[in-house]
Structure 1
Amino acid sequence: MRILVMSDTHGDQHTLHRVILSQPNAEVIIHLGDGCDDIEDERYLYPNKMFLQVRGNCDWCSALPPLGEIQLENRKIFYTHGNLHNVKYSLDEIKLAARLQKASILLFGHTHIPYTEYENGLYIMNPGSLRGADASYGIVDITPQGVVTNLIRANHK
């Protein structure tokens, strides 16, 4: 199963649409906040894909939850924007939150800095921001052999 992970689109619906088009095998699309309305049109264009979202610190009027969790392919995924776990200062708090939820995959945004790591049974990914010259997104592939995370530059020519 391929999961497309994006965050911090901040109104850049064009790049968001282009990235979804570039990943036709993604069955699940997770938006980690700050631009939660940006993805609404995509829901109608891709009714066969699962869309998951949380609100970010710039999604002021959003009724979306601040965090989510889902079980996919026998892997528990904990996802949130990251601001409530102070990720700009340290990842300790968000890693602890994911471990308390017994997650094996942690997804967060907020910092605009792409990041991926594997630490003691926990796959960690921040896809970066999908807006601007350094726009990036993430892919999580869950296979029978395991989990693979990849960061991709969205504006790479």
Structure 2
Amino acid sequence: MKVLVVSDNHGQTDVLQQLKARHQDEVEHFVHCGDSELPSDSTAMEGFYAVRGNCDFDSGYPQRLIIEVESNRLFIAHGHLHQVKSSLMPIKYAAEEEEANIVCFGHSHIAGAEYTGGILFVNPGSISLPRMTHDKTYAIIEETNLDFFVHYYNEKGERLSSHTFNK
């Protein structure tokens, strides 16, 4: 399983097109965690499982989304309705209710990954307005039988870091 996760492009379309072109043969799914500020029928958003962020006004986006990828159940939300800037507990509880084992969210513009209680939490950071770093980031989640890998990249596609989590 390989899933690309991006968030918070805040109206920038070129970067989304570049990500799709760069990784179309490598990843199985594209996930957008909100604050695209684009219409849900925008060409730039084609091919993305996408949710509505606090800066999205198109009601065509759901507030949260559940997708099944192989043996994984992904819970996708922007995070503003789950207070992710304060704690992961509200989004963890929501994910548990949906029996999800991977949570993808944005909102804070801070990239990070954590594996706790059998759930992988991934925030790809922001692809346009990062906080706590100068790097505009996105993530690719990869799974093997034993591990999850979360690889972070900058907008040019250069790998910045990787994290391994034993399942």
Bin for the TM-score computed over the shorter chain: 0.7 to 0.9
TM-superposed CA distance for 1:42, in Å, is 4.1
**Runs (5+) with no aligned partner, structure 2:** 159-167
Residue matched to 1:62: 59
**8 Å CA contact 2:16, 2:45 repeated in 1:** no
TM-superposed CA distance for 1:36, in Å, is 5.2
In structure 2, the CA distance between the partners of 1:43 and 1:113, relative to structure 1 (3 Å rule), is: closer
Greater relative CO (CA pairs within 8 A, separation 6+): 1
Among residues 123, 127, 132, which one is paired with 1:126 in the alignment? 123
Residue matched to 1:28: 29
**8 Å CA contact 2:37, 2:55 repeated in 1:** no
- Over the matched positions of the two proteins, sequence identity in percent amounts to 36
In structure 2, the CA distance between the partners of 1:43 and 1:155, relative to structure 1 (3 Å rule), is: closer
Alignment of 1:3-152 (within 5 A): 3-24=3-24, 25-35=26-36, 37=38, 40-42=42-44, 50-132=47-129, 133-152=134-153
Aligned partner letter, 2:114:
E
Q: Distance in 1 between matches of 2:124 and 2:16?
A: 13
Greater helix share, structure number: 1
Aligned residues: 152
Aligned partner letter, 1:14:
D
Aligned partner letter, 2:7:
S
Residue matched to 1:47: none
TM-superposed CA distance for 1:120, in Å, is 2.2
Q: Distance in 2 between matches of 1:42 and 1:16?
A: 6
Q: Distance in 2 between matches of 1:70 and 1:21?
A: 22
**8 Å CA contact 1:54, 1:65 repeated in 2:** yes
What are the Cα deviations for residues 74-114 of structure 1, in whole angstroms up to 9, with x where unaligned? 11111100000011111111112112211110100000000
What are the Cα deviations for residues 45-85 of structure 1, in whole angstroms up to 9, with x where unaligned? xxxxx531111010123321100111111111111000000
Q: Distance in 2 between matches of 1:123 and 1:150?
A: 13
**8 Å CA contact 1:134, 1:155 repeated in 2:** no
**Runs (5+) with no aligned partner, structure 1:** 45-49
The two structures have a TM-score, normalised by structure 1, of: 0.86
Aligned residue for 1:37, secondary structure, equals coil
The two structures have a TM-score, normalised by structure 2, of: 0.81
